[in-house]
Structure 1
Amino acid sequence: MGQVKVYGIKEHLNPIKAILSDVIQSCMVDGLKFPRDKKFHRFFPMDKEDFYFANGRTNAYTIIEISMFEGRTIEAKKQLISLLFERIESQLNIGPQDIEITIFETPKHNWGIRGLPGDELELNYKVNV
């Protein structure tokens, strides 16, 4: 299971949401072996006056937060991060200085999905990759 939150300045984020969502999903599939149909993305377009960030970033600055079941290897998570930087730059022309990624992992039993704790779900994909 994975859920993605994306934050950015609305004038920049809104026009690219659909493509960025597809790029993120392709990285989740290739990097973490997620099923293609398990896409849970939420976008938070923000007014510029509500989104503060350090010098050296542009209006394309984007924060990506990924919440998922724990269990992936360090190598798999690093692969995901690498794919995100690479594909976002190549497909959306947003450089690595304007992307920040955070992965939050929690035990399956801390999730509630389809009426069950996450550790009682039958998944059609592997978490330990």
Structure 2
Amino acid sequence: MPFVRIDLSKKHPEGFAQQVGEIVYQVMTAHINVPKDDKFQVITKHESQELVVPKSYLGIEYSEDIIFIQVTLNEGRTTELKKKFYKAICEGLVERLKVRPQDIVINLIEVNKENWSFGNGEMQYAPKD
């Protein structure tokens, strides 16, 4: 179960943030084996001054249109699969929403399966006794 956080500027048009979330979800189901309906996202729009980024880092120039995507997911995916995942998100955002590829920052946090509770105070992925 991925848990996705998307942070971006309030200056984007109405509905833009939800479109970003939908693209991320589609890429997760297509490229990293996320089941259908496994869509847990928190999307937060910020004032420009609340998104603190350098003018450039690692030779990449950023703009005020930067989008941060953080995905917490079960560990175990290969580096190659993650590379394809990053590329597919970038291509989807560039193609469908005209986002600059330089303004897409993605971070994965991998956790053990037992670090999830989907409700009821239960650890659904824990081994059964």
Q: Same fold (TM over 0.5)?
A: yes
* Number of matched pairs: 122
| SS state at 2:93 partner | helix
- 102, 106, 109: which one aligns with 2:111: 106
Unaligned runs of 5+ in 1: 123-129
Q: Deviations over 1:4-52 (max 9, x none)?
A: 0011111227540221111111110111121221111111111112111
Alpha-carbon distance in 1 for matches of 2:68, 2:15: 16
Deviates more, 1:108-117 or 1:61-70: 108-117
| SS state at 1:22 partner | helix
Alpha-carbon distance in 2 for matches of 1:15, 1:113: 27
Q: Deviations over 1:35-78 (max 9, x none)?
A: 22111111111111211112132221011000011122222211
State, as a whole percentage, how many aligned pairs show the same letter.
24
Report the AA paired with residue 67 of structure 1: T
Structure with bigger helix share is: 1
In structure 2, relative to structure 1, the CA distance for the partners of 1:81 and 1:28 (3 Å cut) is same
- 51, 59, 78: which one aligns with 2:64: 59
- 49, 68, 71: which one aligns with 2:73: 68
| SS state at 1:12 partner | coil
Matched, 1:93 2:76: no
**1:116 equivalent in structure 2:** 122
Report the AA paired with residue 126 of structure 2: E
After the TM superposition, list the runs of 4 or more consecutive aligned residues in structure 1 that deviate by more than 3 angstroms.
none
Q: TM-score, normalised by structure 1?
A: 0.85
Partners of 2:6 and 2:21 within 8 A in 1: no
Partners of 1:25 and 1:36 within 8 A in 2: no
What is the RMSD computed on CA atoms of the aligned residues? 1.9
Alpha-carbon distance in 2 for matches of 1:69, 1:13: 33
Matched, 1:31 2:31: yes
| SS state at 2:125 partner | helix
